[in-house]
Amino acid sequence: MLLLIKWLIMTLSVMLASYIIPGVNVKGFFTAMWVALFIGIVNVLIKPLLMLITLPINILTLGLFTFVINALLILLVSSVIKGFEVKGFWIAMLFSIVLSVINYFFGHILGAK
């Protein structure tokens, strides 16, 4: 049940972030649900591997390279999911930051920790 609540929170976060940021288009609610699901899968399967591979550069940049990895993963999701479009790298980076902040606040308000 908690996993379903977190998925819906992420879906709402994707929808809200796409309304806030120009250059990010989500076709509809079901597309946002697929985006949220795929972002979750990518964060579980691919992100840890990328973090391990880029550990030296991440240490040199004091963790700021993580923003680059997040943006690249958002671009990967936008290339796979039809109906979800991100216009460029910097938009993807801004989207990932805004998405994280919104997701944190929704999770905190709704109690899905």
For residue range 1-55, what is the model confidence (pLDDT) as tens digits?
788 888 999 999 999 999 999 999 999 999 999 999 999 999 999 999 999 999 9
Give the start-to-end residue ranges of the domains of the chain: 2-110
Contacts of 84 (CB under 8 A, 6+ apart): 25, 26, 27, 31, 32, 34, 35, 77, 78
Residue keyed to tokens 């930051």: 97
| C-alpha distance from residue 27 to each of 18, 32, 90 (Å) | 10, 8, 21
pLDDT digits (tens, 9 = 90+) for 42-96: 999 999 999 999 999 999 999 999 999 999 999 999 999 999 999 999 999 999 9
- Looking at residue 18, its amino acid is S
Taking the model in full, what pTM does it have? 0.89
